[in-house]
Amino acid sequence: MSDPKLNDVLARIDAAVAAGSLPLVIFDLDGTLLDNRTRTMRILREFSDAQGSNFGSLVDVIAGMTADDLGYDARDALRERGFDEPDAFAAFFAFWSERFFTDEYVFDDRETPGACAFANACWDRGAYLYYLTGRHAGGMEIGTSRSLKELGFPMYGGRSSLHLKPSFEVPDAEFKDSAIAMINSLQGTVVASFENEPGHANLLAVSFPGALSFLLDTGHSKSAPPPLPDLVHVPDFRV
């Protein structure tokens, strides 16, 4: 069931436009607009093909899995199926790290249910879409731009920005903190923000107290802080 506050976002966009202000909507990508578990599932299968036979039952375990079985950490899904070998996990992490943060593999991502339609509804009403992501320039910007466009998200046209980290090494939290100044420079009205990481959602809520701040309950890092009580929890973007 959708949350009525998603409709409130559209109403706030309409009100800002009517008042002569530029409405801004901030969207995180991974775990928010985009479901990257399909990307991880592809890498799991490739790892199984390349090295799985070296690790006992791993091939059979992965063969019986789909992207929907995965959570934030693929190792948890393997453990749930009785596979828990540290050497295999270490080898997989190295294999995954070489592929996950690349232009090629982001094309396996799928939209979070309702995400594209909701983003377009915001765009159609006159909102500026600010895609704020921990993905990095110099390795993921080409694939990210193309995959967003191919999935049907509004891109370019003067009312969207794709803001990536300047390099892979910059911590996500540090980057998103610095991005607040960039968003403020647009001199619009932030009407809503969407994140799946509680720490980042908290930052956006504090930075833009007049906006609706959403937390996507799609999964997050185990070290995440508690979410602020005023965050709006939604499972997806279906209105």
Task: Let me know: does 182 contact 202? Beta carbons within 8 Å.
Answer: no
What's residue 70's pLDDT? 96
For residues 130 and 220, membership in a common domain is answered with: yes
For residues 79 and 121, membership in a common domain is answered with: no
Burial of 69 (0-12, 13-18, 19+ CB in 10 A): middle
What's residue 2's pLDDT? 62
Listed residue (220, 204, 234) closest to 25, CA to CA: 204
Q: Does the pLDDT of residue 67 top 80, yes or no?
A: yes
Instruction: Report the percentage of the chain scoring pLDDT > 90.
Output: 91
| Higher-scoring residue by pLDDT: 90, 173 | 90
Q: Does the pLDDT of residue 4 top 90, yes or no?
A: no
Domains of the chain: total: 2
What's residue 177's pLDDT? 81
Distance CA 94, CA 158 (A): 39
pLDDT digits (tens, 9 = 90+) for 30-50: 999 999 999 999 999 999 999
Q: Does the pLDDT of residue 96 top 90, yes or no?
A: yes
For residues 68 and 147, membership in a common domain is answered with: no
Contacts of 123-127 with C-beta under 8 Å, sequence gap 24+, read: 123/154, 123/159, 123/160, 125/10, 125/13, 125/14, 125/17, 125/23, 126/13, 126/16, 126/17, 126/23, 126/159, 127/13, 127/23, 127/24, 127/25, 127/159, 127/191
Q: What is the extent of the structural domain holding 165?
A: 4-36+111-234
Q: Does the pLDDT of residue 111 top 50, yes or no?
A: yes
Distance CA 175, CA 27 (A): 15
Q: Report the CATH number at residue 197.
A: 3.40.50.1000
